[in-house]
Amino acid sequence: MIAEILSVGTELLMGQIANTDAQYLSRRLAELGISLYRHTVVGDNPGRVKAALLEALRRADLVVTTGGLGPTEDDLTKEAVAEAFGLPLELHAPSLRAIESFMAKGNYPMAENNRRQAMMPRGATVLENPVGTAPGCIVESGGKTVAVLPGPPRELKAMFEAGLAPWLARRSDMCLESRYLRTAGVRESDLENRLRDLFHSGNPTLALYCAPGEVTARITARAETPDAARALLEPVEAEIRRRLGDRVYGEGMDLTPEAVVFRLLDERRQTVSFAESCTAGLLPARLVDVPGASRVLGESHVTYSDEAKHRVLGVRRETLAQFTAVSAQCAVEMAEGARRISGADWAASTTGYAGPGPADDGTPAGTVYIAVAGRDGTSVRECHFPGDRAFVRALAATAAFDMLRVALLEAR
């Protein structure tokens, strides 16, 4: 089955919001064994929506639309689908009752426009919306299928998982299984060199995806059953892990280095503190995104000035005078100071020049020192990150979590 995604919304076309719906659908369709060939974005214009839909149907077996199911006048996706297939719109009574119930529970007024949301192309398979008012639908005609989904990501994901994914799975004679091996501290080009021969194995396939400071290796196998696909995946995964060693910090599309650090600390009932300069609060901000972070994080310190580094963390004035704040010596004393004043088992520090220009002494932008202090001593690393201020700070934060992760593993 060949698929395309048609995203409807002027706000997407104008760049006012990111198209996270298409990103999510791309991943999920691939996992279901459906080949996705194209994304298209079109504004809230009924003529253009219909034209884009007809064009997509000439190329694809399945078109998944997102957006245009709300109660306002510019929400016309279902109307465009009905016109494209030459079908009338009819009131779907169960959807109307669900909308009325949803509005009553929230004490919202029921407008005529909400009633429009219950109108469906004749013969459509209706997809319930468990978290909103707009139902979706599946329309089939002449060997072509259009699945109509809402635009809000929370509603789209709920409808896809509960309705469209099972419907598609029942119509597929093949399944895909994927593993996402997350790596940090290794560049994409280096990773490609280490795994070069595995890119040409046919089935499973291997692909690399980059994020600041990280590369994800996605392995995907196609087979008639999930068990058969997993049997194809496992030897390739084992070989990648053998070649990359501790550069693989975990498996999972949504896994993060900070989540792994949290798990390692939580398992040991240990704690961490942070001392930051250039990252200015990114480390605790990322860690507290992990549920339960309060069990491992008690305090953190942003000491941007030299005076703060000395007064709060106890960095010696002699160190600052001789080596400057951007130095391995300063990073070590920051980490050790944070560990001492917090009483934490571990502490990590960052200090550097995020840019845009070099320091007064000529030290290039992107120079960052990261230190990790534990009961067995302190390690420090000099890093040189490319990019603007935000990118350098993001890379430094990821590198700090990865360095802390490795230190935790070595301390087992």
The residues spanned by each domain of the chain are 2-170, 175-251, 257-410
Q: Thinking of the domain 175-251, which architecture would CATH place it in?
A: 2-Layer Sandwich (3.30)
73 band by pLDDT with thresholds 50, 70 and 90 = low
Ranges 175-184, 282-291, 329-338: which has the least confidence: 175-184
* Fold assignment, 2-170: Molybdenum Cofactor Biosythetic Enzyme; Chain A (3.40.980)
Say if residue 412's pLDDT is above 80. no
- Phi, psi of 352, deg, nearest 5: 180, -175
What letters, b where the CB count within 10 A reaches 16 and e where it falls short, cover 99-120?
beebeeeeeeeeeeebebbbbb
Instruction: Report which of 91, 128, 64, 405 is spatially closest to residue 268, judged by C-alpha positions.
Output: 405
Task: Please give the Cα distance from 278 to 353 (Å, whole number).
Answer: 7
Say if residue 72's pLDDT is above 70. no
Note whether 276 and 301 are within 8 A (CB). Answer: yes
Task: Determine the average pLDDT of the residues in 263-271.
Answer: 97
Residue 61 confidence (pLDDT): 94
Ranges 218-227, 255-264, 332-341: which has the least confidence: 218-227
Say if residue 298's pLDDT is above 90. yes
Say if residue 234's pLDDT is above 80. yes
Task: Determine the average pLDDT of the residues in 20-39.
Answer: 88
% pLDDT > 90, the chain:
70
Q: Which CATH superfamily groups domain 257-410? A: CinA-like (3.90.950.20)
Residue 210 confidence (pLDDT): 85
Say if residue 237's pLDDT is above 80. yes
Pick the residue with more confidence: 105 or 268? 268
Say if residue 266's pLDDT is above 70. yes
Q: Over the stretch 352-391, which tens digit does the pLDDT of each residue have?
A: 999 888 887 888 999 999 999 999 999 999 999 998 999 9
74 band by pLDDT with thresholds 50, 70 and 90 = low
Ranges 21-30, 81-90, 169-178, 305-314: which has the least confidence: 169-178
Ranges 22-31, 72-81, 120-129, 338-347: which has the least confidence: 72-81
Mean pLDDT of the chain: 92
Residue 50 confidence (pLDDT): 92
Pick the residue with more confidence: 337 or 361? 337
- CB-based contacts of 308: which residues, under 8 Å, 6+ apart? none
Token pair 């120079």 in the structure block, residue = 367
Say if residue 24's pLDDT is above 70. yes
114 band by pLDDT with thresholds 50, 70 and 90 = confident
Sheet strands (E) in 337-409:
346-352, 367-374, 377-384
Sheet holding 62-66, edge to edge: 35-42, 2-8, 62-66, 144-149, 136-141, 125-127
Say if residue 4's pLDDT is above 70. yes
Task: Determine the average pLDDT of the residues in 218-238.
Answer: 91
Task: Please give the Cα distance from 372 to 347 (Å, whole number).
Answer: 6
Helix or strand holding residue 408 (H, E): helix 389-410
Residue 173 confidence (pLDDT): 72
Helix or strand holding residue 214 (H, E): strand 214-223
233 residue type, one letter: L
